[in-house]
Copies of this chain bind each other. A is one copy, B any other.
Amino acid sequence: MKSKAIFYHAGCPVCVEAEQSVANALDKQDYDVEIVHLAEQQSRIEEAESAGVKSVPALLLGEKVFHINFGAALSDLK
């Protein structure tokens, strides 16, 4: 069964770079990768926050959050 991976971003240049490199490099045979643009899907900010996301870009693998470089704080997207 595939694991869930969620890549949260906000369309910023740092986010786009991380999406094109890191999110794209994930093994799609093992991971079901969802890309969530939090500036466009504000309704999902709370979900990201609950998962422990503090800034974007961030990658959620299972229940673990990995903040990749720094684009914007989650609080700035509200």
Interface of A with B (CB < 8 Å)? 5, 17-18, 21-22, 25-31, 59, 61-62, 64, 66-69
A22 to chain B, nearest CB (A): 6
- Could you say which of B17, B28, B67 contacts A68, with CB atoms under 8 Å apart? B67
Residue of B nearest to A20 (CB): B64
Q: Considering the chains assembled together, what is the distance between the CA atoms of A62 and B20 in angstroms? A: 12
Question: Would A22 and B69 be within 8 Å (CB), given that A27-B27, A27-B28, A28-B27 are in contact?
Answer: no
A19 to chain B, nearest CB (A): 11
Contact across chains for A62 and B27 when beta carbons are under 8 A apart: no
Q: Which residues does chain B contribute within 8 Å of A28, judged by CB atoms?
A: 27
